[in-house]
């Protein structure tokens, strides 16, 4: 079975960053993952803290570097599922930032997963080792991770069935006509 390569991207420079813990957890549920470049990724787990109601400059800057991928076979985040995770001290910044993050992913031609995860960090959600001590958030991160994996597999299957450019594709009508020919 095809094993998608999932990349985790984001976090903060703060030691013990809860954003980084959430990304690590979500990208490691599926085994094959990395905190690396997006160019080779089949799926991405993308996380940012909410800073003054939007993405952090650090994460936005990293995303802006996808401009370097504009001439690639798969430019920007094209055709890749992106699981969006946001941490913030309060609910309001968490949800506005999630909407902003999804808008950026759309602009980069990625496919935000149906579920995005918002984590309010004024409650303790992770322990020092990065274990999620909130079952509700743990479940959400697991679902988001599964959605990234499922979409990456569907995408790979669709790509493998796509005819080469210029190849003759029999239409349904021609197939029926062939079957009816005695």
Ligand X SMILES: Cc1cc2nc3c(=O)[nH]c(=O)nc-3n(C[C@H](O)[C@H](O)[C@H](O)COP(=O)(O)O)c2cc1C
Q: Which of 89, 131, 133, 158 binds ligand X (CB under 6 A)?
A: 89
The gap from C-alpha 92 to its chain's centroid, in whole angstroms, comes to: 22
What is the C-alpha separation between 86 and 98, in angstroms, rounded?
6
How far apart CA 13 and CA 58 sit, in angstroms, is: 9
Please pick, from the candidates 8, 43, 49, 81, the single residue that binds ligand X as defined by CB under 6 A: 49
- Dist. CA 57–CA 44, nearest whole Å: 19
- Cβ 94 to ligand X shortest distance, Å: 7
Number of shown-chain residues binding ligand X (CB under 6 A): 18
Quick check: helix, strand or coil at residue 78?
coil
- Scanning 18-26, 106-114, 146-154, 168-176 for contacts with ligand X by CB under 6 A, the matching segment is 18-26
SS3 174: helix
Which residues neighbour 176 within 8 Å (Cβ) at sequence distance 6 or greater?
A: none
Q: Which of residues 136-165 bind ligand X (CB under 6 A)?
A: none
Task: Verify binding: residue 24, ligand X, rule CB under 6 A.
Answer: no
CB nearer ligand X, residue 12 or residue 66: 12
Q: Which stretch binds ligand X (CB under 6 A): 25-33, 45-53, 109-117, 136-144?
A: 45-53
DSSP string of 112-148, one letter each residue:
E-S--EEEETTS--B-TTS-B--HHHHHHHHHHHHHH
- In whole angstroms, the minimum distance from the beta carbon of 59 to ligand X comes to 10
Closer to ligand X by CB, 17 or 149: give it. Answer: 17
Which residues would be at the binding site for ligand X (CB under 6 A)?
11-12, 14, 17-20, 49-53, 87-90, 93, 121
């Amino acid at each position: 079975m095809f094993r998608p390569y999932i990349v985790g991207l984001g976090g903060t420079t703060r030691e013990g960053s809860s954003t980084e813990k959430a990304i690590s957890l979500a990208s490691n549920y599926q085994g094959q993952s990395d905190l690396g470049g997006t160019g080779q990724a089949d799926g991405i787990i993308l996380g940012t803290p909410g800073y003054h109601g939007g993405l952090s400059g650090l994460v936005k800057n990293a995303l802006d570097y996808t401009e370097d991928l504009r001439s690639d076979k798969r430019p920007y985040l094209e055709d890749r599922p992106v699981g969006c995770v946001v941490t913030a001290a309060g609910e309001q910044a968490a949800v506005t930032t999630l909407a902003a993050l999804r808008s950026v992913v759309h602009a980069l031609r990625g496919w935000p997963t149906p579920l995005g995860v918002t984590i309010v960090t004024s409650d303790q959600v992770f322990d020092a080792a990065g274990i999620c001590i909130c079952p509700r958030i743990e479940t959400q991160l697991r679902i988001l991770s599964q959605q990234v994996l499922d979409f990456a597999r569907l995408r790979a299957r669709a790509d493998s069935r796509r005819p080469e450019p210029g190849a003759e594709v029999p239409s349904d009508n021609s197939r029926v006509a062939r079957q009816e020919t005695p």
